[in-house]
Amino acid sequence: MAEAILRHELGNQVRVLSAGTRPQPQVAEEAITALRLAHLPTEGLYSKDISAVTNEPIDLVVTVCDNAKETCPVFPRPVPRIHLPFHDPHGEPLESFVRIRDEIQARLVPAVREALGVDQEITAASSER
């Protein structure tokens, strides 16, 4: 969900990559539904392992669960990191996914904006969501 939300909120100002240290085989249907209920695009979302992004040029690593923080790999060059843990609602009802979606919007988006120096007014003007 964080990938879709950050893409929507930060528009064309940043490139968002998402991967997990122990990803599920597929994105949870409840996550897709929670995003769609907020009119957020879900096209192209799929579950991927961290190895899929370790060689990408990355300016910021964001970990959203404590396990990922502890097991996040070392990237080829030093990369700033921020950690904002969120409860993993996997296996829970849709309401849990909606709550986490809203927490991601409220906490993660401002943190990433600040860490990357992305201006909120510019983002609002260029956002396509």
Please report, for the chain, the start and end positions of each structural domain, with discontinuous segments joined by +: 2-115
Whether residue 60 contacts residue 77, with contact meaning beta carbons closer than 8 Å, is answered with no
Looking at the domain 2-115, which fold is it? Rossmann fold (3.40.50)
Question: Would you list the DSSP string of the chain?
Answer: -HHHHHHHHHGGGS-----BSS--SS--HHHHHHHHHTT---TT----BGGGTTTS--S-EEE-SHHHHHHPPPPSS---EEE------TTS-HHHHHHHHHHIIIIIHHHHHHHHT--HHHHHHH---
pTM of the model: 0.82
What are the average pLDDT values for consecutive 10-residue runs of the chain, which has 129 residues? 93 85 89 97 90 85 73 70 90 97 96 86 37
